C-alpha cells in the first residue's frame, strides 16, 4: 500500500543524496525532519512540511526521533575527511541512530550503505575503512530487530536519474553505477511503502522501474 503523510527523519539531509531525497519526500506528501550541521544548505527548499534543526551528529541527537514513522540515514563523512570522521559519522553516528530509533519504537529504518559493505575484505581499495564502517553499521541495524531496508548503491553518478534500476550485480565493474537521484527516489519508495520486511537491496542502472522494487 502506498502511503502519504509519513513523518520521515532524514539524517544527512544536506548531502547530495539526502537533499534530493528530502525534496522528493516533500513532493510525495510526506513531512520531513532534517537535523543538519549547516541549516543554510537547505534554505532553497521551502515547505511547511520541512522542519530543519541545527545538529552535530557527533553529539546526542536522540531528541529528533520522537513521533517519527521512518528514519533515513544517508549521512556520510565525505571523501575529503580522514579516518576519524569516517569512524565518528559513518559508523558511530549510524550506530547511535539505530539505537535511538529502537528506543523510540520507529516503524522503519532505511540505511544508505555502499556496494562493498557486504564484504570489505573483498575490496582492494583505499576506501576500505569506509566500507568497514558501513558494514558494521549495517550489521548493527540487522541485529536491532527494527524493520529495515539497507540500500547498497553502486558508484554514484551526478546525472539525472532514469527511475530504472537493477538489483543484480553487473558482470562489468564499469556498469556498477547509479545516479544519486535514483538512490533518492528509492528512499522515497521505501518510506511510501513502509513494510515489516527486512531487506538488503543493491542498486545499479537497469531496466526495472524503482516503484516495482518495493511494491
With H, G, I as helix, E, B as strand and everything else as coil, classify residue 81: coil
Catalytic residue (one of 2, 100, 130, 202): 130
With H, G, I as helix, E, B as strand and everything else as coil, classify residue 59: coil
Examine the residue annotation and report whether 130 is marked as an active-site residue of this protein.
yes
What is the DSSP track for 118-181? G-GGG--STTHHHHHHHHHHHHHHHTTT--EEEEEE-EEE-S---SEEE-SPPSSGGG-EEEHH
User: What is the rounded distance in angstroms from the CA atom of residue 76 to the CA atom of residue 186?
Assistant: 18
Kindly state the helix (H) or strand (E) to which residue 98 belongs, with its residue range.
Answer: helix 94-103
Catalytic residues: 130
Amino acid at each position: 500500500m502506498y502511503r502519504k503523510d509519513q513523518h520521515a527523519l532524514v539524517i544527512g539531509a544536506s548531502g547530495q543524496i539526502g537533499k534530493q531525497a528530502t525534496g522528493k519526500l516533500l513532493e510525495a506528501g510526506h513531512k520531513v525532519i532534517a537535523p543538519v550541521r549547516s541549516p543554510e544548505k537547505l534554505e532553497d527548499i521551502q515547505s511547511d512540511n520541512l522542519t530543519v534543526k541545527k545538529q552535530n551528529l557527533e553529539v546526542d541527537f536522540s531528541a529528533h526521533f520522537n513521533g517519527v514513522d521512518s528514519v533515513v540515514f544517508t549521512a556520510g563523512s565525505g571523501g575529503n575527511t580522514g579516518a576519524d570522521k569516517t569512524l565518528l559519522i559513518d559508523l558511530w553516528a549510524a550506530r547511535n541512530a539505530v539505537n535511538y530509533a529502537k528506543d523510540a519504537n520507529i516503524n522503519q529504518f532505511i540505511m544508505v550503505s555502499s556496494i562493498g559493505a557486504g564484504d570489505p575484505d573483498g575490496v582492494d581499495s583505499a576506501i576500505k575503512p569506509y566500507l568497514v564502517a558501513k558494514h558494521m553499521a549495517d550489521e548493527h541495524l540487522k541485529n536491532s530487530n527494527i524493520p529495515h531496508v539497507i540500500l547498497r548503491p553502486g558508484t554514484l553518478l551526478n546525472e539525472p536519474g532514469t527511475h530504472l534500476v537493477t538489483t543484480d550485480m553487473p558482470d562489468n565493474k564499469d556498469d556498477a553505477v547509479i545516479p544519486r537521484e535514483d538512490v533518492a527516489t528509492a528512499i522515497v519508495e521505501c518510506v511510501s511503502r513502509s513494510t515489516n520486511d527486512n531487506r538488503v537491496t543493491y542498486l545499479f542502472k537497469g531496466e526495472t522501474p524503482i516503484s516495482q522494487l518495493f511494491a
